[in-house]
């Protein structure tokens, strides 16, 4: 058995957005903001405006490249280590070419789920390696937020 598996992958799946996507975002944001302004619900109007501004800036951002290493001690992502003792279970969702991800459920109260892109890694090798250290969730699937991001190309 190998001592470690390493690869580089983007932080998240990035989808290029067309001009039409941005026009729709602007129209939806302006429409909802204007609607709540006309209803004299100023707080909701401001919140929707801020929400769409945040979505715009996040949609323009490019993902960082993560250097991922699975070894005997745990998972190392760039310079951060997550020991296996802090992880409950793992599961792999593999439906190429769209979905190739490795998921972990951690013991953390916030940020409980960790999703890593597999890129060109062999999911069978990853699974065999992790089974030595963690239980596998055979019923685990893609997170709702990941599905939504993929469907909306966000």
Assign 154 a pLDDT band (cuts: 50, 70, 90).
Answer: low
Q: What is the DSSP string of 55-119?
A: HHHHHHPPPPEEEEEE-SSEEEETTEEEEGGGEEEEEEEEETTTEEEEEEEES-SSS-EEEEE-T
Q: Which residues contact 137 (CB under 8 A, 6 or more apart)?
A: 89, 90, 91, 105
Tell me the pLDDT tens digit for each residue of 5-35. 999 999 988 888 889 989 999 999 999 999 9
- Whether the pLDDT of residue 1 is over 70: the answer is no
Q: What is the pTM of this model?
A: 0.77
Same domain, 106 and 79: yes
Same domain, 108 and 73: yes
What mean pLDDT, rounded, does the chain reach? 90
Assign 2 a pLDDT band (cuts: 50, 70, 90).
Answer: confident
Assign 151 a pLDDT band (cuts: 50, 70, 90).
Answer: confident
CB of 66 closer than 8 Å to CB of 114: no
Question: Of all residues in the chain, what percent carry a pLDDT higher than 90?
Answer: 68
Nearest alpha carbon to residue 142 among 87, 98, 88: 98
Same domain, 49 and 74: no
Question: Of all residues in the chain, what percent carry a pLDDT higher than 70?
Answer: 98
Same domain, 30 and 99: no
Q: What CATH code is carried by the domain that includes residue 96?
A: 2.30.29
Same domain, 92 and 139: yes
The residue that leads in pLDDT, 49 or 143, is: 49
Backbone angles phi, psi at 71, to 5 degrees: -140, -170
- Whether the pLDDT of residue 95 is over 80: the answer is yes
For the sheet with 5-10, list strands across it.
5-10, 65-70, 74-77, 80-83
Same domain, 76 and 90: yes
Same domain, 69 and 141: yes
CA neighbours closer than 13 Å in the CB half-sphere of residue 88: 11
pLDDT of amino acid 82: 95
CB of 65 closer than 8 Å to CB of 125: no
Same domain, 81 and 147: yes
The tokens describing 11, both together, are: 């932080």
CB of 33 closer than 8 Å to CB of 52: yes
Domain residue limits at 121: 5-12+65-152
Q: Choose the weakest-confidence range: 15-19, 27-31, 37-41, 125-129.
A: 15-19
């Amino acid at each position: 058995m190998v001592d470690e598996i390493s690869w580089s992958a983007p932080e998240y799946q990035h989808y290029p957005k067309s001009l039409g996507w941005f026009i729709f975002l602007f129209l939806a944001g302006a429409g909802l903001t204007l609607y709540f302004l006309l209803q004299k619900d100023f707080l909701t109007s401001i919140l929707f405006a801020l929400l769409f501004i945040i979505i715009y800036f996040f949609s323009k951002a490019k993902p960082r490249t993560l250097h991922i290493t699975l070894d005997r001690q745990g998972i190392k992502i760039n310079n951060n280590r997550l020991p296996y003792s802090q992880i409950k279970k793992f599961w792999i969702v593999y439906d190429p070419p769209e979905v190739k991800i490795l998921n972990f459920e951690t013991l953390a109260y916030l940020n409980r789920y960790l999703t890593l892109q597999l890129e060109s890694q062999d999911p069978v090798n990853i699974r065999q390696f992790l089974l030595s250290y963690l239980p596998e969730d055979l019923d685990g699937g893609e997170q709702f937020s990941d599905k939504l991001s993929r469907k909306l190309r966000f």
